[in-house]
Amino acid sequence: MVLPTLPTHPVADPAAVVQGEHYRITVLTDGLLRIEHSPDGVFEDSASTFALHRRQPVPEFRVVDQGTHLEVVTRRLRLTYDKGPFTTSGLSVAVLGAITTWHSVWRYGQDDDGRNLGGTARTLDEADGAVPLEPGVAGRHGYAVVDDSASLLLTEDGWVAPRDDGRTDLYVFAYGHDHAEAVRALYAVSGRQPVLPRWALGNWWSRYHRYTADEYVALLDRFRDAGVPFSVAVLDMDWHVTDVDPAIGSGWTGYSWDRDLFPDPAAFLAEVHARGLRVTLNVHPADGIGPHEEVYGAMCAALGLDASAGDPVAFDVTDEAFLTAYLEVLHRGLEDEGVDFWWIDWQQGPHSRIAGIDPLWMLNHFHFLDNARGGRRPLTFSRYAGPGSHRYPVGFSGDAVVSWASLAFQPHFTAAAANIGYGWWSHDIGGHMFGAKDDELATRWVQLGTFSPVLRLHSSNNPFLTKEPWSFGPEHAAVQTEFLRLRHRLVPYLHTMNHRAARDGVPLVTPMYHRWSRDAEAYDVPGQFLFGSELLVAPVTSPRDRESATASVRTWLPDGVWVDVLTGLAYDGGREVVMHRDLASVPVLAPAGAVVPLDAAAVPGDDPVEPAALEVLVVVGADGAFTMVEDDGTGDGLDEERVARTPLVWDQAAGVLTVGPVAGADRFLPATRTWTATFVSVADGVAPVATVEGAGVDPVVARTAEGHLRVTVGDVPVGAVLRVGLGATPRLRPNDVATRLHRLLDAAQVGYELKRRVLEVLTADRPLHVRLSHLAALGAPATLRAAVEEVVLARAS
């Protein structure tokens, strides 16, 4: 086997290099420097696990040699260096531009003192709330550093080598508050995020449980009958033999199907595939290969070992021959039976037989590249192994404790990972272990999962810790089912963001300060995030209050008008708002001009292929545009001959949504499609018209319970242009305050007379300040008062 390799361009353009006998400074971009010190005068030009592409277009910079010290200046930074061994006083980088205080100067060896905005962590195993985050490339004071001094080197033949000790290799990011650009610089040097397979964006089912083949297939059929879609079937470790002699292993590691549970593995995998799901199997490789394994003899033969001795084959990722056999012998036959990718459940730490070689990184790297053979779009599923891990999605965040504290931390954990470019975390939705049965907690976690990079239900092997929606109370089962369906409906939007992540260097989930970096409020809502280009999500991570029957979440809305696409409630932005939601909803807000494509099916199928019916959400009030991206599912997703782009353009002045024409490949798309334009909370009085290729058609028009206007046109040829018009400059409808107040008060657990008085006071034809002061005198519980005030004050008109 020839080991697969990544394309690399590790040697920088000489024109970008400033070098002395013991130092080398490389200007990679106008905001990113590589700064090296070498006591022996030898510098490293091999690719590392972090840096693959140091050969970048040379930015404008100037060098000023003052004799005693050196200055390197770009439009973003000024490096000052005394040409000696690196010290705090002798090496600094000042961030130029709007950030010019002493806070904006990085000095070698100086404590970060909390300035870094955080990246991510290797795992959430046993976490019950927050865990410390490793640093990212975004800093509150404008700078951040990646220390690459100890990372592995990638050799030209595809293998790895540890570094020589004693050399310092730093990457200093000095992008000021342009955090998103710092992340793009990370991708430029470290490699882009790959395009995930479309099916990876649907729901994943996983449970640590001893399923039989018949039980698993029956469960998938029950999900189908209940209208709960899944696109990935995960089998935890009990797929393989676990009852082994302790003398030869622990049972955690295994490569032989448990024939008592799965008598015909190929037939079982075929049944799962026939239902539209892909399959991944859990592997814990650390214990090696025992003599009980079906492939033991073949593994010994591949490595030249004596199988008759019966000695376990030790796991050793530092041995190229072993790793080759590991992929070709242990995994290839299982893949031929129908396994699509692997869940690498490495729990044994970062050490190996050779110092500096992390087994987790090795497994992530080589499994991912191996999964790409034959032109497939690769995928692996494993823990984070340091900077550069974004190249090997999807991330498995580990076994978090079932608790509100764990739920509350995960939005921040997911968003902050964008600061180190790690865009595809998959959490154990609902938590993995311990904790207590809490239907509301489970439901809120599913809602977070719907707006997470990857939604995967999972739990420990406790027989009471189950995640099927029907294992919860009826109210919770209904809400969970609705959000699991919504996840599959979101796939057209998610897959476009999947392509955006790879092409434009913007992760699906990003912190608010990536877009509003100069607003202090953006840094004060760590649990709120941007979900793609069009949506802002503020997950609910605390239980409902009894009196108001709602849960609250503190939210910051940037300037402009924002509409909750789930409830239709519109808000004036430019402020902080405590939002209240019943169990059925979480704040998912879109600004005026937002355009969001969805699968139009109320109950989407398991395999989220390109849908024949699409719904486009439009928030009127400003121009908007969105190009929906689809592909044929092969290759790396970047080949233009395999990609279709459908423009969706909203012209506010004309009041017209234009769909199409499709650009690029369309051979894999349905010949015709049904399009539904849903105008979110648009005002009454509009008269929808529709044309296809300029000819009038009769649309189906309806209003939803949330106040949205739906205009549906069927049988539109895939290459045609569809236009749906509402008339010039349509506006949002005023919030129906009275109806919303009645609904909220009806659910509230307070006295009937209090409900009546609150409704009368707040809907009276009196000035707002009079109504609110009267409300304050009614003695309503504080939480209920806050909830009704939110509705009244959401928007000025």
pLDDT above 90 for 117:
yes
Residue 165: band (very low, low, confident or very high) from pLDDT cuts 50, 70, 90? confident
Task: Please check whether residues 52 and 177 belong to one and the same domain.
Answer: yes
Task: Please check whether residues 59 and 138 belong to one and the same domain.
Answer: yes
| pLDDT (mean) for 364-392 | 96
- The residues facing 233 across adjacent strands are 205, 279
pLDDT above 90 for 97:
no
Q: How many CA atoms lie within 13 A of 229 on its CB side?
A: 28
Distances (CA, A) of 578 to 161, 412, 434, 495: 53, 18, 31, 31
Task: Please check whether residues 659 and 630 belong to one and the same domain.
Answer: yes
The domain boundary, picked from 190, 208, 242, lies at 190
**Residue 547: DSSP 8-state:** T
Residue with token string 């030790």: 314
**Residue 308: DSSP 8-state:** G
pLDDT above 70 for 100:
no
pLDDT value of position 98: 58
| pLDDT (mean) for 184-205 | 98
Task: Please check whether residues 740 and 721 belong to one and the same domain.
Answer: no
The stretches of 331-473 forming alpha helices (DSSP H) are 332-337, 359-371, 404-416, 439-450
pLDDT 10s digits, 772-789: 999 999 999 999 999 999
| Contact yes or no for 154/48 (Cβ under 8 A) | yes
pLDDT value of position 247: 85
| Contact yes or no for 193/507 (Cβ under 8 A) | yes
> Is 625 inside any structural domain?
yes
Q: Which two tokens stand for residue 330?
A: 């242990």
> Is 501 inside any structural domain?
no
pLDDT value of position 351: 83
Beta-carbon contacts of 384 under 8 Å, excluding residues fewer than 6 positions away, are 120, 121, 122, 123, 395, 397, 422
Task: Please check whether residues 646 and 786 belong to one and the same domain.
Answer: no
Task: Please check whether residues 123 and 143 belong to one and the same domain.
Answer: yes
3 state DSSP class of 319:
coil
pLDDT value of position 307: 96
pLDDT above 80 for 226:
yes
pLDDT above 60 for 295:
yes
> Is 511 inside any structural domain?
no
Number of residues that this document lists for the chain: 797
pLDDT above 70 for 433:
yes
Q: Which two tokens stand for residue 417?
A: 């990972």
pLDDT above 90 for 258:
yes
| Contact yes or no for 583/440 (Cβ under 8 A) | yes
Percentage of the chain exceeding pLDDT 70: 99
Distances (CA, A) of 468 to 430, 433, 778: 11, 16, 43
Q: Which range has the worst mean pLDDT, 117-126, 351-360, 557-566, 628-637?
A: 351-360
Dist CA 263 CA 795 (whole Å): 62
pLDDT above 60 for 544:
yes
pLDDT above 70 for 101:
no
| pLDDT (mean) for 187-211 | 98
Distances (CA, A) of 598 to 354, 530, 602, 610, 714: 49, 18, 10, 11, 16
Helix axes 782-793, 737-747, angle to 10 degrees: 160
Q: Give residue 616's Cα distance to chain centre.
A: 22
| pLDDT (mean) for 294-308 | 96
| Contact yes or no for 672/665 (Cβ under 8 A) | no
Sign of CA dihedral 698, 703, 709, 714: negative
pLDDT above 90 for 197:
yes
Task: Please check whether residues 186 and 94 belong to one and the same domain.
Answer: yes
> Is 425 inside any structural domain?
no
Strands 663-664 and 656-659: unpaired
Peptide bond connecting 394 to the previous residue in cis, omega within 30 degrees of 0:
yes
Peptide bond connecting 285 to the previous residue in cis, omega within 30 degrees of 0:
no
> Is 460 inside any structural domain?
no
3 state DSSP class of 375:
helix
> Is 146 inside any structural domain?
yes
pLDDT above 70 for 311:
yes
What is the CATH classification number for the domain harbouring 694? 2.60.40.1180
pLDDT 10s digits, 17-75: 999 999 999 999 999 999 999 999 999 999 999 999 999 999 999 999 999 999 999 99
| pLDDT (mean) for 326-348 | 94
| DSSP result, 236-299 | -GGGB-----TTT--SSS--SB-TTT-SSHHHHHHHHHHTT-EEEEEE-GGG-B-TTSTTHHHH
> Is 527 inside any structural domain?
no
Question: Residue 766, class by beta-carbon neighbours within 10 Å (0-12 exposed, 13-18 middle, 19+ buried)?
Answer: exposed
Residue 99: band (very low, low, confident or very high) from pLDDT cuts 50, 70, 90? low
Cα first-last separation, the chain: 68
The domain boundary, picked from 680, 699, 725, lies at 725
Task: Please check whether residues 648 and 679 belong to one and the same domain.
Answer: yes
How many domains does one find in the chain?
A: 3
Strands 624-631 and 168-173: unpaired
Strands 168-173 and 32-37: antiparallel
Beta-carbon contacts of 9 under 8 Å, excluding residues fewer than 6 positions away, are 52, 53, 54, 55
> Is 403 inside any structural domain?
no
pLDDT 10s digits, 695-731: 999 999 999 888 899 999 999 999 999 999 999 999 9
Task: Please check whether residues 52 and 29 belong to one and the same domain.
Answer: yes
The domain boundary, picked from 190, 209, 244, lies at 190
pLDDT value of position 5: 83
Of 551, 512, 343, which is closest to residue 428 (Cα–Cα)? 343
Task: Please check whether residues 18 and 129 belong to one and the same domain.
Answer: yes
Helix (H), strand (E) at residue 757: helix 752-763
Dist CA 98 CA 75 (whole Å): 12
Task: Please check whether residues 743 and 659 belong to one and the same domain.
Answer: no
191: left (phi over 0), alpha (psi -120 to 50) or beta: left
pLDDT above 80 for 694:
yes
What is the CATH classification number for the domain harbouring 105? 2.60.40.1760
3 state DSSP class of 643:
strand
Question: Residue 472, class by beta-carbon neighbours within 10 Å (0-12 exposed, 13-18 middle, 19+ buried)?
Answer: buried
| pLDDT (mean) for 139-156 | 95
pLDDT above 80 for 2:
no
Percentage of the chain exceeding pLDDT 90: 92
pTM over cut 0.95 = yes
Helix (H), strand (E) at residue 556: strand 551-557
362 φ, ψ (degrees, to nearest 5): -60, -45
Q: Which two tokens stand for residue 51?
A: 């840096």
| pLDDT (mean) for 748-760 | 97
pLDDT above 70 for 377:
yes
The stretches of 438-589 forming alpha helices (DSSP H) are 439-450, 474-489, 491-504
Helix/strand/coil percentages in the chain, nearest 5: 25, 25, 50
Residue 102: band (very low, low, confident or very high) from pLDDT cuts 50, 70, 90? low
Dist CA 449 CA 447 (whole Å): 5
pLDDT above 90 for 166:
no
Task: Please check whether residues 41 and 106 belong to one and the same domain.
Answer: yes
Q: 617 is in which domain, residue-wise? A: 610-725
Q: Which range has the worst mean pLDDT, 93-102, 240-249, 455-464, 690-699?
A: 93-102
| Contact yes or no for 581/540 (Cβ under 8 A) | yes
CB atoms within 10 A of CB 225: 8
